[in-house]
């Protein structure tokens, strides 16, 4: 499970309005859809947060790096050029949890750790009790 939170998005929404924000979310969603395999699943779970469910993905770090490159491409709206980024949290079955709910919670916690640490991603397995 890969939990994604867009970075720099709130400032765009606040400064340019929901119409521009919705457009940017649509572009990002299309980019996210373009990086998944047919066996994978992606969903927007609210606001500027998305979740990937990747089936048997051993190259998850490369997946996150490739996904981040797609997200960070410029987005043009009329005469404005926008750049958003993202923070990712990764939880791996069965090490980090044995059901989707546990994996989602751990991936979310790892994402927030990455966000608060200035990192692009963090693994749930590397969370210590001090960082939770």
- Catalytic residue numbers, as ranges: 48
60-71 vs 18-35: helix axis angle to the nearest 10? 140
| CA geometry: angle 66, 70, 122, nearest 5 deg | 50
Cβ atoms 120, 114 nearer than 8 A: yes
């Amino acid at each position: 499970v890969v939990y994604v939170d867009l970075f720099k998005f709130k400032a765009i929404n606040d400064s340019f309005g929901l119409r521009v924000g919705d457009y940017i979310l649509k572009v990002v969603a299309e980019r996210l859809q373009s990086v998944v395999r047919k066996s994978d699943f992606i969903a927007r779970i609210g606001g500027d947060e998305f979740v990937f469910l990747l089936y048997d993905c051993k190259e998850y770090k490369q997946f996150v790096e490739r996904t981040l490159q797609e997200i960070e491409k410029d987005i043009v709206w009329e005469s404005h050029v926008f750049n958003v980024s993202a923070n990712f949290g990764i939880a791996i079955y069965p090490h980090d949890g044995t059901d989707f709910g546990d994996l989602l919670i751990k991936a979310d916690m790892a994402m927030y750790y990455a966000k608060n640490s200035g990192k692009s991603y963090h693994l749930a397995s590397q969370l210590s009790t001090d960082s939770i």
